[in-house]
């Protein structure tokens, strides 16, 4: 009894896939890399942009033959596109056995029992038995949903309002992961830094306290979090990042646009200057912090001047890397009511923005040549710096160990490095 999981989209989906896998393992299934071996095929979908949704739909279409080969097999479709397009999926793909939207992830165990038509399994059999071996890094979901209503975004429609996991439950999961060998924990949520342990949303959250508590768990070496919203990047959170030793000097802080007019039209709840002020505080508290961001180009009404302000913001901040997305209208969102730019113009802005982001990224990486970095080695010998740069260590390195290396080449996104013995007095910079 094997299952195969295909995951589209963001890290939240990766974490949800992990959680659903644990439910399947608790019911006697084991994971396989080969769909031919599987009796359950789970497609965890994304709907944030049309492209992501289309890819999942074509895979689901192709599963008709997989199912026909052995009709007792089950096709399970989950995630954000499942939430948004349930009726369409059920009509269009009759070979799908179960559609479970992103909002039902918390009750996935019971839903699967319904599908398998058998008594609930003993959840206490869970975890350890089927935990993936040798993983040194893991996501831990701390909140779900989003109370924002950015005008381009479908997420609040499909994932609902914010829900927070209790602090003790989060810490228990962190301890469990550590027992499985995890040392690098990434806290996950749609607006992760709005976390409040009492379940109240707000700016003065307990997120800073949570960072300290997770860092204090025995065996946790590194703590990260995605994706924070600039509005909740308070002084308290920045201070916790700077003072809790386990919290890494890196931050993915989506900016979306460098133009106040566009930020306003997106309803992002901060200005260009407000964002730059946060960056200033982060750099002051953690010189050399690794910064990354998301940008949307071609938003309805984005003028040439607005677009240039996005480019100038990328230069002003100097992001280590930047994900550039072409605006994709999502049905039911306010921005989708407005007229879109011609595809050619969006393409041009996308290419120009990517090109600049690449050049800035390369410049940022070059400063790391010759520095000593601690690399936490993953399966296969490559690892990550505290700044979350991927590093290939010459001659390989033992998985699960943190080793000091000297960076030798940064031409590509994956850095190259050689092991070093002594760190005393060596050059160093956050990377
Ligand atoms: N079109 C393009 N990009 C989008 N994103 C979210 N919604 C859309 C959309 N409709 C991007 C944002 C977000 C990232 C996860 O996806 O940049 O930060
Ligand atoms: Fe979407 Fe905005 Fe919520 Fe992020 S903060 S999930 S972009 S609505």
Residue 190 maps to which CATH number? 3.30.750.210
Angle between helices 235-243 and 272-285 in degrees, nearest 10:
30
- Per-residue pLDDT at 216 exceeds 70: yes
When pLDDT is cut at 50, 70 and 90, the band that residue 67 belongs to is: very high
Residue 329: give its domain's CATH number. Answer: 3.30.750.200
pLDDT at 404 over 60: yes
Convert the pLDDT of each residue in 348-357 to its tens digit.
Answer: 999 999 999 9
If you average pLDDT over residues 186-201, what whole number do you get?
A: 84
Q: How confident is the model at residue 127 (pLDDT cuts 50, 70, 90)?
A: very low
The range of the structural domain enclosing residue 37 comes to 2-128
**Angstrom distances, CA of residue 65 to CA of 49, 86, 88, 95, 192:** 27, 21, 20, 9, 40
Res. 64: pLDDT tops 60: yes
Least Cα distance to 191 among 153, 237, 225 occurs for 225
In a domain, 430, yes or no: no
Q: Which residue of 8, 53, 84, 153 sits with most ligand 1 atoms within 8 Å of its CB, as the best mutation to test the pocket?
A: 153
pLDDT of 202 higher than 60? no
- Do 218 and 102 lie in one domain? The reply is no
Q: So what's the pLDDT on residue 133?
A: 46
The pLDDT of 314-331, averaged and rounded, is 96
Question: CB of 148 closer than 6 A to ligand 2?
Answer: yes
Q: What are the pocket residues of ligand 1 if the criterion is a CB atom closer than 6 Å to any ligand atom?
A: 10, 48-49, 152-153, 254, 256, 294, 296, 325, 327-328, 330
Instruction: Please say which residue of 128, 160, 180 terminates a domain.
Output: 128
Assigned domain for 279 exists? yes
In this predicted structure, the answer to whether residue 261 has a pLDDT above a threshold of 80 is yes
> From ligand 1's centre to the CA of 153, what distance in Å?
7
Kindly state the percentage of the chain with pLDDT values over 90: 82
pLDDT at 429: 63
With a cut of 50, say whether residue 131 has pLDDT above it.
no
CB contact at 8 A, 407 and 416: yes
In whole angstroms, what is the distance from residue 28 CA to residue 23 CA?
Answer: 9
Is residue 330 domain-shared with residue 270, that is, in the same domain? yes
Q: Lay out the sheet containing 290-297: strands in order across.
A: 250-252, 290-297, 321-326
Structure pTM? 0.88
Q: Taking all residues of the chain, what is their mean pLDDT, rounded to a whole number? A: 91
Rounded Cα distance, 229 and 291, in Å: 14
**Ligand 2 pocket mutation, candidates 49, 80, 156, criterion most atoms within 8 A of CB:** 156
Domain boundary, last residue among 206, 229, 248 = 248
341 close to 306: Cβ distance less than 8 angstroms: no
């Amino acid at each position: 009894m094997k299952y195969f999981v295909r995951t589209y989209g963001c890290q939240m989906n990766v974490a949800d896939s992990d959680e659903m896998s644990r439910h399947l393992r608790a019911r006697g299934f084991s994971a396989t890399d080969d769909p031919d071996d599987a009796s359950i095929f789970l497609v965890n979908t994304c709907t944030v942009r049309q492209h992501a949704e289309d890819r999942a739909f074509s895979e689901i279409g192709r599963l008709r033959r997989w199912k026909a080969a052995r009709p007792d097999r089950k096709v399970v479709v989950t995630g954000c596109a499942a939430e948004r397009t349930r009726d369409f999926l059920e009509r269009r793909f009759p070979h799908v056995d179960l559609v479970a939207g992103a909002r039902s992830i918390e009750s996935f165990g019971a839903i699967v029992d319904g599908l398998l038509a058998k008594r609930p399994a003993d959840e206490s059999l869970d975890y350890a038995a089927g935990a993936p071996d040798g993983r040194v890094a893991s996501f831990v979901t701390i909140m779900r949903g989003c109370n924002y209503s950015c005008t381009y975004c479908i997420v609040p429609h499909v994932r609902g309002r914010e829900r927070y996991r209790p602090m003790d439950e989060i810490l228990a999961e962190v301890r469990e992961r550590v027992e499985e060998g995890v040392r690098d924990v990434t806290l996950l949520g749609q607006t992760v830094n709005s976390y409040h342990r009492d379940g109240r949303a707000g700016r003065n959250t307990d997120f800073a306290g949570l960072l300290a508590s997770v860092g204090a768990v025995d065996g946790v070496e590194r703590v990260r979090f995605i994706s924070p919203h600039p509005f909740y990047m308070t002084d308290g959170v920045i201070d916790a990042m700077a003072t809790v030793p386990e919290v890494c000097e890196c931050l993915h802080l989506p900016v979306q646009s460098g133009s106040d007019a566009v930020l306003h039209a997106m309803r992002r709840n901060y200005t260009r200057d407000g964002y730059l002020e946060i960056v200033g505080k982060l750099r002051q508290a953690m010189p050399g912090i690794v910064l990354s961001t998301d940008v949307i180009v071609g938003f309805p009404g984005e003028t040439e001047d607005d677009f240039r302000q996005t480019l100038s913001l990328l230069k002003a901040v100097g992001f280590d890397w930047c994900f550039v997305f072409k605006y994709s209208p999502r049905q039911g969102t306010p921005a989708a009511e407005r007229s879109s730019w011609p595809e050619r113009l969006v393409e041009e802005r996308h290419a120009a923005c990517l090109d600049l982001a690449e050049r800035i990224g390369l410049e940022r990486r070059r400063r790391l040549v010759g520095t000593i970095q601690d690399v936490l080695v993953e399966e296969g010998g490559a690892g990550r710096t505290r700044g979350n740069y991927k590093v290939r260590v010459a001659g390989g390195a033992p998985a699960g160990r943190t080793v000091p290396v000297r960076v030798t080449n940064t031409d590509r996104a994956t850095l190259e490095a050689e092991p070093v013995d002594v760190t005393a007095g060596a050059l160093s910079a956050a990377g």
